[in-house]
Structure 1
Amino acid sequence: MYYQCFFFLQIDRQFLRISTVPLLSTFFAELDRYSPRLMEIFSRKGRQAGKEITQIMDAISKDDTIHTRRACVIKSLCTYLNEDPEKLVKAYLDSDFELQSTMEQTVMGVYVILIEGALPDDDPADIAVLIEGVEVLSDLNSIAQACALLFGLIYCLNLSYPQQLKCT
């Protein structure tokens, strides 16, 4: 039987209760505030990381929405900090047969299920948060919202932050 462990409003309210700061609105406001400067810094990065960041940021030229821009900045930040963005946000096709076993091996992260053959500006089939192989949030609106809620869950539940994402 499938059930959703948490609702994003519960996480937002719990984070507000603990820290006196609203999680989602503050996260989005600060991400949007720093995005232009971060994008400028990312464009100056050279070598292999610069190439990876350029590939990530190419998604904005195909679909320039706030959700795409936020997702690209988050992924580029991981790359800029010499971490693998796939450790935070993992994309799968809906036809992937090993999806369930791969998800069960995930310690912590966000996953996006893309519809096979979909256009770049099409919405994904699902965006969800995994903790220790268990889907704790699903049907989220964007990658940025999923990342914010993952950070909120880490803080509210007093979880150890994943070692492979210690800089992000």
Structure 2
Amino acid sequence: MDKTFSLRRQEIVDKESGVEELNGRWPALFTMDEINAEFTRITTVPLTPRFLASLDKHHGKLIDIVRNKGGVVRETTRDLLLDQVVQKDEAETELERCAMAVFVIREEEDPLQPPHDIGIIIEGVEVMNQLPSFAHACAMLFGFIYALNLSYPSQLKYTFDALQKLFMGIEPKQMTRRVCSLSVKLQVLNDSDMYTPVLR
């Protein structure tokens, strides 16, 4: 894959082939190892280690920020903060219509049981499944966006922009106003944690 990188990039960027065609032409690219490697070839940033480390650092504070929001933000994110139980046969038709999605399939009513499957849909094609966690799936989706030269979905452009600038540290000086505001809030929470007294 290293040796064919320039050929593959030319094909992906110039021809703008669909995901299904690229999966047929470059099947090795559609694995966790190769998405990690391709992302590093494109950005020089290690995908999964950086993403998971940033998630560990920020996830609690991000949840606090979202929970403290009111109005539309609170309503639209409320269900995202809850674990949803999904049956595969109910979800397949809906997933086929998705431009881009991470799915978690649970076959048990007990949310403490591990998911049956975690995967990624792009352009209605299941490009990856049996991922180890939802966090890994999010990292892989971010990697696919770079590897396949895709645009951020319009309804999630600020989310992906925040992942790019804050989580991955890619072009952090070119933040939108919203991402800059989030960055400031995270910094304030980080600073307040540094000065919280430890009770013994």
TM-score (norm 2): 0.58
Matched, 1:157 2:172: no
Aligned pair in 2 of structure 1 residues 20, 104: CA closer, same or farther (>3 Å)? same
Please point out which of 15, 19, 42 is paired with 2:43. Answer: 19
Aligned to 2:109: 118
The structural deviation recorded for 1:52 is 5.8
Matched, 1:129 2:153: no
Aligned pair in 2 of structure 1 residues 136, 54: CA closer, same or farther (>3 Å)? closer
| RMSD over equivalenced CA pairs, Å | 2.4
Aligned to 2:101: 109
The letter for the 1-side match of 2:35 is I
3-state SS in 1 of match to 2:115: coil
Aligned pair in 2 of structure 1 residues 22, 52: CA closer, same or farther (>3 Å)? same
Tell me how far apart the structure 2 counterparts of residues 103 and 40 of structure 1 sit (CA, whole Å).
30
The answer to whether the 8 A contact 2:66-2:73 is kept is: no
- Structure 1's unaligned 5+ residue stretches are 60-89
**Pairwise mapping of residues 13-162 of structure 1 onto structure 2 (< 5 A)?**
13-47=37-71, 49-50=73-74, 53=77, 56-57=80-81, 92-96=86-90, 99-115=91-107, 117-162=108-153
Aligned pair in 2 of structure 1 residues 8, 95: CA closer, same or farther (>3 Å)? same
Tell me how far apart the structure 2 counterparts of residues 159 and 121 of structure 1 sit (CA, whole Å).
34
The structural deviation recorded for 1:101 is 2.5
Mark the structure with the bigger radius of gyration. Answer: 2
- Structure 2's unaligned 5+ residue stretches are 1-23, 160-200
3-state SS in 1 of match to 2:92: helix
User: Of Structure 1 and Structure 2, which has the larger fraction of its residues in helix?
Assistant: 2
Tell me how far apart the structure 2 counterparts of residues 111 and 146 of structure 1 sit (CA, whole Å).
9
User: Of Structure 1 and Structure 2, which has the larger fraction of its residues in strand?
Assistant: 1
The structural deviation recorded for 1:20 is 1.1
The structural deviation recorded for 1:23 is 0.2
Identity among equivalent positions (%) equals 40
TM-score (norm 1): 0.68
Higher relative contact order (CA 8 A, sep 6+): 1
